[in-house]
Amino acid sequence: MSIDTSKVADSNTTAATAKKPNRAGAAATWADDRLGLATMMKKNLRKVFPDHWSFMLGEVALWSFVVLLLSGVFLTFWYVPSMGEVHYEGSYDPLRGVEMSEAYASSLKLSFDVRGGLLMRQMHHWAAMLFIAAMMIHLLRVFFTGAHRKPRELNWVIGCLLLLLGTLEGFTGYSLPDDLLSGTGIRAADGFLKASPVVGSYMSFFLFGGEFPGDAIIPRFYTIHVLLIPGLLLALITAHMLLLVYHKHTQWPGPGRTEHNVVGYPMLPVYAAKAGGFFFIVFGVTALMGGLLSINPVWLFGPYDPSKVTAGSQPDWYMGWPDGLLRIMPGWESHIFGHTISWNVMVPILLVPPLMLTILILLPFLESWITGDKRDHHLLQRPRNAPTRTAVMVSLMTFYGLSWAAGGNDLIAITFDLSINQITYFMRVAVFLGPALAFIITKRWCISLQRKDEEVLLHGYETGIIMRSPEGGYSERHLPISEARAFTMTARDRDPDLAELQSGEDGVDANGLEPKRSPLAGIRRRLQTTMYADNIQKPTAEELEAAHHHAEHEHELQAAMEGVSADGHQFDGHHLVEEETLRGDH
Amino acid sequence: MRHVNGWTNRWAGRLSRHRRRPIAGAVLLLLGLVLTGSMYAVFAPAQAGSTDSNEELVREGRALFLVGCSTCHGVNGEGIDTVNGNQLGPPLAGVGAAAVDFQVGTGRMPMAQPGQQNPVKPQVYDQDEIDALAAFVASLAPGPAVPDEADYSTADLSEEERVEAIARGGLIFRTNCTACHNFAGNGGAMPRGGYAPDLSQTEARYIYEAMLTGPGNMDNFSDGNLSPEEKRDVIAYLYSLREQPAYGGFTLGGLGPVSEGLFAWVVGIGAMVGFAIWIAAHTTRSTRQKDGQAA
Amino acid sequence: MTGQMSPEHAPDGTGHQPVEMNDADGQPIGHGLPALPPDEPIKNPGLPVHTWRPTDVDPAMEKRAERQIAALFGLSAVCGVLFVVAYFNVGENETVIGLGAQTVALGSSLGGALLLIGIGIIQWARKLMADHEIVEMRHPARSSDEDREATLAQLSQGAEESGIGRRPLVRNSLLGAVTVLLAPAVVLFRDLGPTNAQVTEAGDYPGAGLEHTVWDRGVRVVRDVVGTPIRPSDLEIGDLVNAEPETIFAVDEDGEPLLEGVPLQVAKSKGAVVLTRMDPADNTPGEGREDWDVDGILCYSKICTHVGCPISLNERKTQHLLCPCHQSTFDLADSAKVIFGPAARALPQLPLMVDEEGYLVAQSDFREPVGPSYWERDSDASTTEIE
């Protein structure tokens, strides 16, 4: 580890007041004598965090996790992880006397006989939904802005694992109340396990402690849900945060911001206050949702009974997309030599989701392999400036979204008066066509946005003022953008020159011999071409100079027809309007 | 016989133990209602009219039927097949008065257009006319009669029996009905654009008739399948769902995890992003400088 | 941006000398790519001049902000008190606009208390705390070459001193021992559950194992929930009964249920059936299944052959049974073959007959395993096998 001598933290605020020998100071001394905290803290207390709303999405996930821990601990005080059968005697009349598992009875007790228990149950469930949703939009933000590039690839991998663990944690939690819905989910999970080749029935019998449903699954899921996965989550979140602190946060390009610095607010006090305040806000929003929006009304579902089912049997949203794939998969099954291979379950559950996760984890590595870019990157990119990358993620999102929608095909059908069958047929095609289409559209869209940027840089922005020439022709007045904005727009990498990038690979080498071309190198070349060929590069200094020169000339021409002092800046906030009138004093 | 109708066994002596709150008021009210109901039953004119008035009703119904129904169902309710073998209207012999009362009473009949689903519409006929139509159709062949209020009312049950009936109704509902109508009776999708309707507003009589006659694509739950008491219990359960508060807050349509997921994204993530934007937004700036300090 | 803007023209507007960021080997960071054109069109103008907020320059505004923030915290405290009041005073059956008043009151007051604290703190940070942006220099994530070398030296010294390279016998036997240790770790979990074969062989409860259910010759088909047996005459055409084997409701001489706990749940999970009556003319019995119905009454497993959800969404007119989980659709009038959706196999059919008391009973167990597919399932054999 290099010693951090290059850090030049600037503080242009007033110096901290001189230490007084007060009680707090004494306590701090006592602690530091034993822990030596000051050395570690002096480096970090004024650590700089850049400020941008999109940097707080990960925080939503973090604080949701804290809410999950707090509400979860509350729930464990009453929840009984047992499948022992009891007759319900609690205060919810419509289930009185009904036979159910202790787990379900204790969920009812939490809902009706523990004051605030239902609130905590609902907060826990909402927080879980938000936890995973926030991780996902955080992931999207990171990828779209290129924050997954070196040196942060490992943090990306950790994030992907967190997403996986969060999903598993969510599924086990969904199963614990042992109501009809969660039991149906476990039933389906049993079907998934059994569909695994060779080991399927063994895995099912091991998990359930015998034949489905057995009496072991709830206690086992409970241990996994409250101990195993939270422990792993906690460890990975810690690693994720430590790496964040070590790498320092990425930042958007802008005046004064470079690859070598980080500009923002110090940890103490502003960032700490904002992050701490945000914790209370996340907690508060979750409490409001828990108090006002009903979620998983277990008393309506009734206890799990393997012979019963309800319409609208769906998993929570984060398991919705594999469920959707399961729904649209054709019923393919092979029977070979007395064995059954269930493609209809294996493909959507056992093959595609792990494949998607693998692709997700590999994305940063694939990208750097294709681009050959081994530099550190701390300045973020706008999604439009990496059109192919953006298009890849939008394409993946489209696949996800369509699969997800397929998982709600029955509700789409009743809400929009459609036929489930038609939706299913449509989705079978759409999950292939949609992502391809999304890729093309996104890429072209990004490139036209790049063109628009180039246009603005070269010719200025549209003022909305239409000039009429003495000849009767009309033209719109363009004015140059501010220097800061222009700099921000140009503060991006120029894509490497394709010819130069690929010259070393397939040209004739120094001895005039045709080099061996591995098929992999060919793929890489093609991917590089896809990645860069159509992108618009920022203008060079000369191009900019020429364009500005041209603009000045235009101005001079237009000046003749003005006759007013209005320069078009009145309405764009570039400078004050008080001293100027739109129409000159004639 | 080894079969046991487990109910009485399992519940004996359990109900009185865990009362949460005094229910004297409710019991009193209930007693009053029961008393009023039974008084009415005693003094009200007998439902079954004389043969004369029934014949009159059938004649009336036939006249209405010829005008409004015979185009599809045939002048004698024999049903009409289209050239390609489909039914324009099914034969009505044996469907019973209950089917007519249900179909016409909920506005499903007369049908606006054939299709996968026959939706509820405003009633076209008034209750007298429906009774006449029902009498006519019932005269074609014996079929289930329009149920009596006593068939589906739990008014004459004691509070304990009522609670028991609701709990049993819940079990029967979850066994036979939730698969299509959803756990809260909010309806669900069926193949090829059909749907099981939302039951949250349906009158008890129509629920009973629907079970009895299996309208549209719904299965029959004839008395041999689900006894009248069991049907009554299902209705009692559905009504108890209407009366119970939405314990957890707004129900979000009561459609399960899909609508919950939608709200998590739109409301939850929406609010979080909104707050994040506010937190990171630039505050108002002044043109003034702080005294004695350069920026 | 590395490589496009050399540090010389990267003033950060705060008066620092920009620090040259070099790798330990003296290469500017960002080498490894073909050199990018140096013609950056616009110079970095440096950090913008700090502007002040109204609260910085106007003591009145500052006071106002202070009061506003304190008011937010005060309101939060009020919400906290309201929570306690609601906790002790709002009953679980009280309602407010049809919603459960307790959860709504507790949730709103708790949410309010938390949100107001959060908003207060954020306002404090936005309005009153110093908001100068400051600059911190980054350092490369990698260690310096000296550190790397030192670490490598230490590692090799450690390896040398331990002799791990020179003593392959010790090293390999250790590796072997640790590898073997994996076996106990895996084997320990063997007792998570018995295998299907073991369960089937032990037969601790009726219908044990994936190939069997509690159905057997003469087992009555009874209505679910109430457990009453069914006569063919009870059912009309179009009726659908969610039924169970009578074994589930059976009791012994003392009135104790015969099946309880796991055996009961397993019996339900494999034994649940739907009974439907259709016009015998509508039914196309499968090969060898001509006598499996009783007057158009057919009995099928209720457990979906896809992943095992119980199915009972029936369309009376078409006799199509739909699974609510993944919409597999089965044609009950044609041996419950799959006509739509992800399921691959027809629902197993239970052969029916009538016992001497006139009730519907099974002719035998299902002729094939019910429920979802699994590797050992011998589909070709079981579907054709007729006892």
pLDDT in tens, A454-505: 999 998 888 888 888 778 888 888 888 888 999 999 988 888 888 877 775 5
Interval B203-242: pLDDT, tens:
999 999 999 998 888 988 988 889 999 999 999 999 999 9
Instruction: Please report, for residues C190, C307, C372, the alpha-carbon distance to residue A190 in angstroms, rounded to integers and kept in the order given.
Output: 18, 7, 9
- The Cα of C232 is separated from the nearest Cα of chain B by a number of Å equal to 9
For residues C312 and C384, the model is more confident at C312
Distance CA A74, CA A177 (A): 15
Distance CA B137, CA B94 (A): 8
Residue C149 included in any domain: no
Instruction: Chain B: list its partners (3+ Cβ pairs within 8 Å).
Output: A, C
> Which of A59, A97, A418 lies closest to B14 in CB terms?
A97
Q: Which amino acid is at A350?
A: L
Q: Are C14 and C49 in contact (CB under 8 A)?
A: no
Contacts of A494 in chain C (CB under 8 A): 4, 36-37
Residue A534's SS3 state is coil
Q: Tell me the Cα Rg of chain C.
A: 38
Using a CB-CB distance cutoff of 8 angstroms, which residues of chain A are in contact with residue C125? 269-270, 273-274, 277
Cα distances (Å, whole numbers) of residue C269 to C304, C310, C326, C334, C372: 11, 8, 18, 24, 11
Q: Which of residues 37-76 of A touch B (CB under 8 A)?
A: 51-57, 59-60
Chain B partners within 8 Å of A140 (Cβ): none
Domains, chain A = 54-255+264-307 (1.20.810.10), 455-559 (no CATH)
Q: Hunting for tokens 């490894």 — which residue is that?
A: C32
Which of the listed CATH numbers 3.30.379, 1.10.3470, 1.10.760, 3.40.1350 matches domain B147-268? 1.10.760
Backbone angles phi, psi at B60, to 5 degrees: -55, -45
Choose the closest CB to B192 out of A112, A317, A419: A419
Encoded tokens for C20: 């040259």
**Which one is predicted more confidently, A488 or B82?**
A488
Report which DSSP code applies to A322.
Answer: H
Distance of CA A152 to the CA centre of its chain: 15
Task: For residue B14, give the nearest of A89, A311, A408 by CB distance.
Answer: A89
Q: What is the pLDDT of residue B10?
A: 42
Of all residues in chain C, the one with the smallest CA distance to A206 is: C193
Judged by a CB distance cut-off of 8 A, whether residue A334 touches chain C is no
Structural domain includes residue C333: yes
| Interface with chain B: mutation pick from A87, A88, A139, A293, highest number of B CBs within 10 Å | A293
pLDDT at C32: 39
Give the separation between CA B170 and CA C225, rounded to whole angstroms. Answer: 10
Q: What proportion of chain A, given as a percentage, has pLDDT over 90?
A: 68
Nearest CA in chain A to C202: A210
Assign A456 to helix, strand or coil.
Answer: helix
- DSSP per residue, A128-141: HHHHHHHHHHHHHH
Distance CA B72, CA B82 (A): 10
| Final residue belonging to a domain, choices C128, C149, C180 | C128
- Cα pseudo-dihedral A133, A135, A141, A144, rounded to 10: -100
| Whether the Cβ atoms of residue C171 and residue C179 lie closer than 8 Å to each other | no
- Across the range A339-364, mean pLDDT stands at 95
Shortest CA gap A444–chain B (Å) = 28
CA distance C310 to C308: 6
Residues A90/A105, Cβ–Cβ less than 8 Å? yes
Neighbours of chain A (3+ CB pairs under 8 A): B, C
Of B15, A258, A213, A94, nearest to C261 by C-alpha is A213
Distance between CA A225 and CA A236 in Å, rounded?
16
**A51 contacts B183? CB cut-off 8 A:** no
Q: Is the pLDDT of residue A247 over 50?
A: yes
Same domain for C241 and C334, yes or no, is: yes
Hey, what's the torsion of the CAs at B282, B288, B290, B292, to 10 degrees? 150
Q: Is residue C22 part of a domain?
A: no
- Could you read off the pLDDT of A143-183 as tens digits, one per residue? 999 999 999 999 999 999 999 999 999 999 999 999 999 99
- Which structural domain, as residue segments, surrounds residue C118? 54-128
- Is the domain of C266 the same as that of C374? yes
| Site of tokens 């060079």 | A540
- Rounded Cα–Cα distance for residues B285 and B288 (Å): 9
* Residue C59 forms contact with A (CB below 8 Å): no
Distance of CA C113 to the CA centre of its chain: 33
Backbone region of residue B94 per phi and psi (left: phi > 0; alpha: psi in -120 to 50; beta: other values): left
Is pLDDT of A292 > 60?
yes
Asked whether residue A8 carries a pLDDT value surpassing 50, the answer given is no
Please count the residue pairs, one from chain A and one from chain C, whose beta carbons lie less than 8 angstroms apart: 451
Q: Per-residue pLDDT for A576 more than 60?
A: no
C296/C162 Cα distance (integer angstroms): 83
In a domain, C179, yes or no: no
Closest CA to B133 of B121, B146, B122, B148: B146
C-contacting residues in B 194-253 (Cβ below 8 Å): 194, 196, 214, 216-222, 224-227, 230, 245-250
For chain B, give every residue range classified as CATH 1.10.760.10: 51-140
pLDDT digit string (tens) for A378-409?
Answer: 999 999 999 999 999 999 999 999 999 999 99
Answer yes or no: is C265 within a domain: yes
Chain A residues 545-584 with a CB less than 8 Å from chain C: none
Among candidates C21, C114, C326 on the partner chain, residue whose Cβ is nearest the Cβ of A326: C326
- Complex-level ipTM beyond the 0.90 threshold: no
**pLDDT tens figures, C125-159:** 999 998 888 999 998 889 999 999 999 999 999 99
Three-class secondary structure assignment of C301-333: ECECCCCCCECCEEECCCCEEECCCCCCEEEHH
Q: How far apart are CA C264 and CA C247, in angstroms?
A: 9
From CA C212, how far away is CA C371, in angstroms rounded?
Answer: 11
C316 at interface of B, judged by CB pairs closer than 8 A: yes
Residue A3 pLDDT > 70: no
Q: Which of A233-237, A368-372, B28-32, C235-239 has the lowest mean pLDDT?
A: B28-32
| Model pLDDT, residue A516 | 60
Q: Which residues pair with A101 in a beta bridge?
A: A85
- Residue C156 domain-assigned (yes or no): no
Does C158 map to a domain?
no
pLDDT in tens, C78-120: 999 999 999 999 988 888 888 999 999 999 999 999 999 999 9
C161 domain residue, yes or no: no
Neighbours of A443 (CB within 10 A): 21
Residue C92 touches partner B, C-beta closer than 8 Å? yes
Q: Where do we find the tokens 């298009």?
A: A391
The set of long-range contacts for A102-107, using a CB threshold of 8 Å and a minimum separation of 24, is: A103/A79, A103/A176, A103/A177, A103/A178, A103/A218, A104/A177, A104/A178, A104/A179, A104/A298, A104/A303, A104/A304, A105/A80, A106/A78, A106/A79, A106/A80, A107/A79, A107/A176, A107/A177, A107/A178, A107/A179, A107/A298
The pLDDT of residue B27 is 55
The CATH architecture that domain B51-140 belongs to is Orthogonal Bundle (1.10)
Q: How far apart are the first and last CA of chain B?
A: 95
Name the H helices within chain B: 7-11, 24-43, 51-68, 70-73, 96-105, 127-140, 149-152, 159-176, 178-181, 204-213, 228-243, 257-263, 270-280
Kindly report the CATH number assigned to the domain that includes residue C377.
2.102.10.10
Name residue, tokens 């003392």. C254
Per-residue pLDDT of C309-356, as tens digits, reads 998 888 888 889 999 899 999 999 999 999 999 999 999 999 999 999
pLDDT at residue A12 in the model:
41
Give the Cα separation of B105 and B100 in Å (integer).
Answer: 8
Pick the last residue of a domain from C108, C128, C148: C128
Q: Residue C200: what are its φ and ψ, rounded to 5°?
A: -65, -45
* A44-58, A558-572, B229-243, C19-33, range with the lowest pLDDT: C19-33
Inter-chain contacts counted by CB atoms under 8 A, chains B and C:
159
* pLDDT tens digits, one per residue of C151-204: 999 999 999 999 888 999 999 999 999 999 999 999 999 999 999 999 999 999
C121 and C225 both lie in a single domain = no
Residues C118 and C224 in one domain: no
Residue A219 forms contact with C (CB below 8 Å): no
Domain count across chain C: 2
Could C310 and B188 be called an inter-chain contact, meaning their C-beta atoms sit closer than 8 Å? no
CA of A379 vs chain C CAs: smallest distance (Å) = 7
**Which are the contacts of A48, defined by CB distance < 8 A and separation ≥ 6?**
A9, A248, A262, A263, A264, A265, A266, A267, C134, C135, C136
